Amino acid sequence: MSGPFLSRGFIGKRSQDGPADRVPPGQYLTRDFPVLSAGPTPHTSLDRWSFEINGLVRQPVRWSWAEFRLLPSRDFTVDIHCVTKWTKLDTQWEGVSIDTLLETVEVDPNAHYVMAFCDGGYTTNIPLSEIIGGKAFVGYQYNGAPLAPEHGGPARLVVPALYFWKSAKWVRGLTLIEKDEPGFWESLGYNNHGDPWKEERYYGDRTD
């Protein structure tokens, strides 16, 4: 067979076509905010909630909910891309930049990755360099209201540059590690890195 495969009779609705520089390959736009989780939504009361940074840092740190809410926060408007193909533009959040959190600890120079850990046991791995420099935050307000539990509330990690499974719901902390290791979906057939612009959806996907 010569040339690329064409789907007979397919033209495409394209009503959901977005700006090409904001919709990665294979994605379509949605106005909804779909909910995807592997198990039941955890419900941790705020007085039992904490956020920790541990692993390769000089002094691990842990904030209660009240302490976390006193950290300098800011507003973020970001596009999010789910591996299940939907993209949502201009989502509005309030939260604490990962930079702000890491300023409070002395990061060991050997730390190259983080493993996010969560209520419910979910984990996900991300290169440290891809969550610093304003690239990621812990969000607790969405559209001006407290983040709903099914969307990861009270707080979720948000890493807009990677597929949204990396934006761990119900996040409770980050462990800094030297060597990369797969998190939950990363050990179940999904891509270890997850860059939507390279369409790194599943194990072995790469564009180079």
Partner 1 sequence: METELIKDEVVPRILEWQISTVVKVRLETQNVKTFTLALPNWTAHRAGQHYDVRLTAPDGYQTQRSYSIGSSPEQRGEIELTVERLEEGEVSTYLHDVLILGDQVELRGPIGGYFVWEASIGGPLLLVAGGSGIVPLMAMIRHRRAVGSNVPVRLLYSSRTYEDIIYRDELEMLHMDRSGLEVFHTLTRARPQLWDGYKRRIDMQMLEEIAKPLGKDLKAYICGPTSLVEGVANGLVTLGIPAVQIRTERFGPTGTT
Q: Which residues bind partner 1 (CB under 8 A)?
A: 4-16, 25-26, 28, 30-42, 84-86, 117-122, 150, 172, 184-185, 187-189, 201-205
Nearer to partner 1, 89 or 132 (CB): 89
Nearer to partner 1, 14 or 58 (CB): 14
Tokens for 167, please give them.
């934006």
Nearer to partner 1, 38 or 70 (CB): 38
CA R_g for the chain: 18
CB of 1 to partner 1, least distance (A): 8
| 8 Å CB contact between 71 and 63 | yes
Give the Cα separation of 91 and 35 in Å (integer).
15
Pairing of strands 171-177, 50-55: parallel
CB of 85 to partner 1, least distance (A): 6
CB of 192 to partner 1, least distance (A): 10
Nearer to partner 1, 28 or 128 (CB): 28
Nearer to partner 1, 8 or 179 (CB): 8
CB of 44 to partner 1, least distance (A): 10
The backbone torsions φ and ψ at residue 115, rounded to the nearest 5 degrees and listed phi first, read -115, 120
Question: Closest by alpha carbon to 98, among 177, 173, 180?
Answer: 173
| 8 Å CB contact between 138 and 156 | yes
CB of 91 to partner 1, least distance (A): 10
CB of 99 to partner 1, least distance (A): 25
Q: How far is CA 151 from the centre of its chain?
A: 12
Tokens for 95, please give them.
């939260």
For Cα atoms 166, 105, 94, give the angle at the middle one, nearest 5 degrees. 50
Nearer to partner 1, 119 or 135 (CB): 119
